[in-house]
């Protein structure tokens, strides 16, 4: 993966990132609700080490999945129905960094704020703005953010198996990944909720 400064639109920890309306204490409560423990964080870091040199293969699989479904790829098309290649490429670079961030970043204020930023970028609040594109769609429906928990989770196990870890270790990394993805999707959904409902 490229240095984060070389990733277009990757603004983790920068002043331009919106402040999350959720407090760190509320984040801790949410982590408890999904049973994310210190042990999970240990195995998540292990998963990061396992996945680091497999990021491109993972993205190939995920992009192939999206690209094979017209109802999913349409969020990367222009008004004429053509793929916006630069947009796809920029998102791919950020998606690859997201894999590593999921496993390695501490859950501090910068991390919490960036989860909010990711949610805003899928919502009509900021969709298409990061890459300055005129895409045909102005929002990724919340139902697809939630649904994507499944393919992004179930496809990761085979990659976690590739470095010779025990079945038990793979299982623990897999469950930590599942919890981490669910946590993030819960955070990304905030912009979609009516005020007072989140």
What are the tens digits of pLDDT across the range 61-102?
999 999 899 998 999 999 889 999 999 999 999 999 999 999
Helical axes 24-33 vs 109-122, angle rounded to 10°: 80
Q: What's the CATH number for 28-192? A: 1.10.490.10
Please state whether 163 falls in left (phi above 0), alpha (psi between -120 and 50) or beta: alpha
Task: Indicate the range of 22-26, 51-55, 70-74, 94-98 predicted with least confidence.
Answer: 70-74
Q: Which residue ranges make up each domain of the chain? A: 28-192
Compute the distance between CA of residue 59 and CA of residue 87 in angstroms, rounded to an integer. Answer: 15
Compute the distance between CA of residue 81 and CA of residue 157 in angstroms, rounded to an integer. Answer: 34
Report the pLDDT averaged over residues 109-120. 98
What are residue 135's DSSP bridge partners?
Answer: 78
Compute the distance between CA of residue 40 and CA of residue 179 in angstroms, rounded to an integer. Answer: 8
pTM more than 0.75: yes
CB-based contacts of 103, cutoff 8 Å, min separation 6: 44, 45, 47, 48, 49, 51, 177, 180
């Amino acid at each position: 993966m490229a240095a984060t400064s070389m990733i277009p639109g990757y603004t983790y920890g920068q002043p331009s990132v919106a402040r999350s309306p959720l407090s760190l204490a509320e984040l801790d409560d949410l982590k408890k609700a999904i049973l994310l423990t210190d042990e999970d964080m240990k195995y998540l870091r292990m998963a990061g080490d396992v996945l680091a040199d497999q990021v491109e293969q993972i993205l190939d699989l995920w992009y192939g999945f999206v690209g094979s479904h017209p109802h999913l790829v349409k969020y990367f098309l222009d008004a004429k129905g053509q793929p916006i290649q630069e947009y796809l490429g920029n998102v791919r670079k950020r998606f690859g960094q997201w894999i590593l961030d999921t496993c390695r970043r501490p859950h501090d204020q910068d991390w919490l704020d960036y989860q909010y930023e990711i949610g805003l970028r899928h919502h009509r609040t900021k969709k298409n703005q990061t890459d300055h594109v005129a895409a045909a769609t102005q929002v990724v429906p919340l139902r697809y953010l939630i649904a994507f928990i499944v393919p992004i989770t179930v496809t990761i196990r085979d990659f976690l198996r590739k470095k010779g870890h025990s079945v038990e270790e793979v299982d623990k990394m897999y469950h930590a990944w599942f919890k981490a993805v669910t946590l993030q999707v819960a955070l990304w959904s905030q912009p979609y909720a009516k005020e007072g409902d989140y």
